[in-house]
Amino acid sequence: MNKVVNNRAWWLVLPVFAMVLFNALLPLMTVVNYSLQETFGNNEFFWSGAIWFEQLLHDDQFHASLLRQIIFTSIVLVIQIPLGLAIALCMPRSGPWVSVCLVLLALPLLVPWNVVGSMWNIMALPDIGLLGKAINSLGIPYNYTRQPISAWFTVVLMDVWHWTSLVVLLCYAGLVAIPDAYYQAAKVDGAKPWAVFRYIQLPKLKHVLTIAILLRFMDSFMIYTEVIVLTGGGPGSTTKFLSIDLVQKALGGFDLGPAAAFSIVYFLIILLVSWLFYTLMMRDEAK
């Protein structure tokens, strides 16, 4: 759509601008302030330069949680994107079952995150939970409060349960938007189902898949509540992801400076990766 140049449109954007400014910029300034200062309480601050950032760069604990976070996000993306796409392809295109499926699929998205954690916590209890009991009765030792592998398995399974539906909904919306003419043309050419998927559906889904990957990347990188309720970051600190580490530093230790430096680096990583991914995807589009 060709848009008219009109700077008075700023008046329409002003409320949003003001609200987000209040909500984002003020806190962000506070964080930047803290990250460059040293405090001994009493609201007295001293300029400390980049010392907290340097400290963070050499902080083994930070490295460990960053590594865990990257592994977790990668696993989650590798499972959820193909699975979500596959489920979307299995969905009926029309008929009374579409609404039923959509409502059931969207259900996990509406569960408060701490309830998601409790739900899986209860489900995975080795002696009285459905999942824990089932795995143990297969002869596999499973106890998510003791074994790191079990804990990781439970956390990943929980996230797949919780968020794959979002990928399904997005992909399904993309699939429904493909005009029938494409499929008819494929039929005339005698295209196999795989060819239809590879040369019609996948290219048409590129846009929604980009959105899905971006959203899943951001949200899995920020995961906090579900994991803190399910495993509390344990056993030991084997499922301590970045947000858990940060909240412990910021609210537990009152180490304002290091926590603020952590926050800024954390936010910048997400922004940078999202921006890089988005630009790469869209550059291909322009060609």
Site for other proteins in 95-134 (CB under 8 A): 99, 101-115, 118-120, 122-123, 127-130, 133
Cβ distance 62 to 258 under 8 Å? no
Q: Does position 242 bind other proteins by CB under 8 A?
A: yes
Q: Does position 278 bind other proteins by CB under 8 A?
A: yes
18 vs 16: CA distance, rounded Å: 5
Q: Which of 37, 56, 172, 209 binds other proteins (CB under 8 A)?
A: 172
Q: Does position 185 bind other proteins by CB under 8 A?
A: no
Q: Read off the tokens for 103.
A: 């409502």
Q: Which of 31, 135, 230, 261 binds other proteins (CB under 8 A)?
A: 31
- For the bound state, the minimum distance from the C-beta of residue 276 to other proteins, rounded and expressed in Å, comes to 13
- For the bound state, the minimum distance from the C-beta of residue 232 to other proteins, rounded and expressed in Å, comes to 11
**66-87 b/e with 16+ CB inside 10 Å = b?**
bebbeebbebbbeebbeebbeb
46 Ramachandran zone, left/alpha/beta (phi>0; psi -120 to 50): beta
Q: Which of 186, 218, 237, 238 binds other proteins (CB under 8 A)?
A: 218
x-or-dash string of contact with other proteins, 188-207, rule CB under 8 A: -------------------x
- For the bound state, the minimum distance from the C-beta of residue 144 to other proteins, rounded and expressed in Å, comes to 14
Q: Which of 159, 230, 243, 257 binds other proteins (CB under 8 A)?
A: 243
For other proteins (CB under 8 A), the number of binding residues is: 90
Q: Which of 227, 230, 250, 261 binds other proteins (CB under 8 A)?
A: 250
- The burial class, CB within 10 Å (0-12 / 13-18 / 19+), for 273 is middle
Q: Does position 233 bind other proteins by CB under 8 A?
A: no
Q: What secondary structure letter does DSSP report for 37?
A: E
Q: Does position 61 bind other proteins by CB under 8 A?
A: no
Cβ distance 81 to 216 under 8 Å? yes
* DSSP secondary structure of 47-108: E-TTHHHHHHHT-HHHHHHHHHHHHHHHHHHHHHHHHHHHHHHHS-SSSTHHHHHHHHHHGG
